[in-house]
Every structure is written in structure tokens, then in C-alpha cells.
Amino acid sequence: MEKKAKITSKGQITAPLAIRQALGVGPGDVLSFQQDKTGVRVLLVSTRSPFAKYRCIGNPGIGSGKKAISRWVRKMRAK
């Protein structure tokens, strides 16, 4: 796939939609530019936790975060 992007006077570029979709990137994601003998590679720097989708999966009724867990523990001790 070959796509083009124009560099602004501030050195900024807008990645074409097809490239963003291929990399799976969105607003706030960070890209890494790595140069080697054959050219430059653009890679996604993983900023999201791979475990985020599993957060609270085993805790029905308990919110996420330290405050929610502390509240639940106090409630259980009161019983």
C-alpha cells in the first residue's frame, strides 16, 4: 500500500485514513518512526494496557478503582 501525506510548515503530517486503519490507530495514539537500511518504518507505540479489556470482569457489582474496592470491603465487613 502506498499513500502520501504532506508535511506542514510546523513539521506535522496527517496520516491517511487507510494507514490509520492498517495500524489500528486513533486520536491520542503515538507512532514511532524507525529508520533502517531500506527506509523508514512507522509503528504503533502501544499506549493501551493489553489487560484493560479484562478490568472488572470478575468483580460483578464492584466498581473499578481503590475507592470502590474499599467501599465494598467496608460493606462486607459490616454484614
Question: From its phi and psi, is residue 9 left (phi > 0), alpha (psi between -120 and 50) or beta?
Answer: alpha
Residue corresponding to grid cell 509503528: 43
Q: Which three cell numbers, joined as nine digits, stand for 76?
A: 462486607
- The residue type of 45 is V
Q: What is the pLDDT of residues 2-54, one digit of tens each?
A: 888 999 999 999 989 998 898 888 888 888 999 999 999 888 887 767 777 77
The model's pTM is 0.50
Tell me, what DSSP letter sits at residue 74?
H
